[in-house]
Amino acid sequence: MSSEFGRILRVGVFGQSHGKAIGVTLDGLPAGEAVDLEELQRFLGRRRPGNSPLSTARKETDVPEFLSGLENGRTCGAPLCAVIRNSDQHSGDYAELADKPRPGHADYTAWVKWGGQADMRGGGHFSGRLTAPLCVAGGIAKQILARRGVFVGAHLDAVAGERDRPFPLYPTAELFAEVAAKPFPVLDDGAGERMRDAILAAKGDLDSVGGVIECAAVGLPAGLGDPMFDGVENRLAATLFGIPAVKGVEFGAGFAAAEWRGSRNNDEFTVENGRLRARTNHAGGILGGITTGMPLVLRVAVKPTPSIGRAQRTVRLSRMEDGELTIHGRHDPCVAHRAVPVVEAVTAAVLLDMLLEGNHGTF
């Protein structure tokens, strides 16, 4: 059950990094929804490693083939299956790793769990490559949401301690589009320069860096979600932690709020144009697990890429003795910037699922 999420809209990801193909199934999409394949391809392009020195040199075309669920460019009620063939496979690079688990990777835990049966070439099913089919799902979800006035966007909030400025109190679809069109997804391009420098510096040191992504959704109705274990936070967090390298999730002020007093953290209410608004949004648009109608705001911590060029100490599993490992091959000195559309994708898919649960428990 590891590779699926959602309740009305079930999203399931399959494939291994160096297998024949990766892909995604979406069961429960509303029927009759147009899917703009060019727009989807642009969205996938934001995740893809390019010719930039900031990313792996691995070439991925990432053009999905739709096997089912789409007829004449529209969803048809049946489960959608999209497949992306793997092409650029250098699995020879991974021979040594079978016996020497990479620090910070799932090699060791996969070995414990599946006793060497797992296909761990390139990270296997744990690979960041699996975020491509996630983006197919989320890209479709984003199109469906946008037609109903719900927009999801994200930017790189921090890399290696260099901070972008945060989203404004009311981010807009236009702002989201503007960031998405940039080669490096930040609000403040100066901060972006400093982040790039930090990435290249780490790369020069055969090292890597992590980052933080801020994601927001606007246009959500108030009243979405349920108290306790089925709230918006619960369901988003459960899924966001499925993105490889994510180690923390917070909503609104999050961990910062833990240092504040209530008088600072509480979002006072006011009436604006006949509608209730919060004067601040430290709650990130969620109170008691339920949307307030203010923008949904969350932040995700992405750890530094575990694959680094430096020699690292590890264990030779076959002999259970200490050993050393130098990872060759092509690796991203940072994955946080490429994870920006992935966080959008997951957020959009979860929100669409929750909206599809219908008029929220009434009929």
Residues 274-303 contacting its own copies, CB under 8 A = 274, 276, 278-279, 282-284, 286-293, 301-303
Applying CB under 8 A, does 314 fall inside the site for its own copies? yes
Amino acid (one-letter) located at 292: T
Residue from 191, 249, 340, 345 binding its own copies (CB under 8 A): 249
| Integer Cα distance of 95 and 236 in angstroms | 36
Q: Which of residues 82-101 bind its own copies (CB under 8 A)?
A: 83, 101
Residue 3 Cβ, how far from its own copies at the closest point, in Å?
Answer: 5
126 sits near its own copies (criterion: CB under 8 A):
yes
Q: Which stretch binds its own copies (CB under 8 A): 12-20, 39-47, 56-64, 172-180?
A: 12-20
55 vs 62: CA distance, rounded Å? 16
Separation of alpha carbons 157 and 161, rounded Å: 9
Q: Could you say whether residue 61 binds its own copies (CB under 8 A)? A: no
- Single out the segment in contact with its own copies by CB under 8 A; choices: 68-76, 135-143, 165-173, 183-191: 68-76
Cα gap 53→199, rounded to integer Å: 9
Pick 4 or 39: Cβ nearer its own copies: 4
Give residues 187-216 in contact with its own copies (rule: CB under 8 A): 202, 205, 207-212
CA distances from 66 to 70, 71, 137, 141, 232 (A): 7, 10, 12, 15, 30
Cα-based distances in Å from 258 to 167, 251, 264, 265, 289: 21, 12, 11, 9, 18
Site membership for its own copies, residue 164 (CB under 8 A):
no
Task: Report residue 122 as tokens.
Answer: 């390139």
Q: Which residue number, 92 or 262, has a Cβ lying nearer to its own copies? A: 262
- Give me Rg for the CA atoms of the chain: 21
Least CB distance from residue 220 to its own copies, whole Å? 11
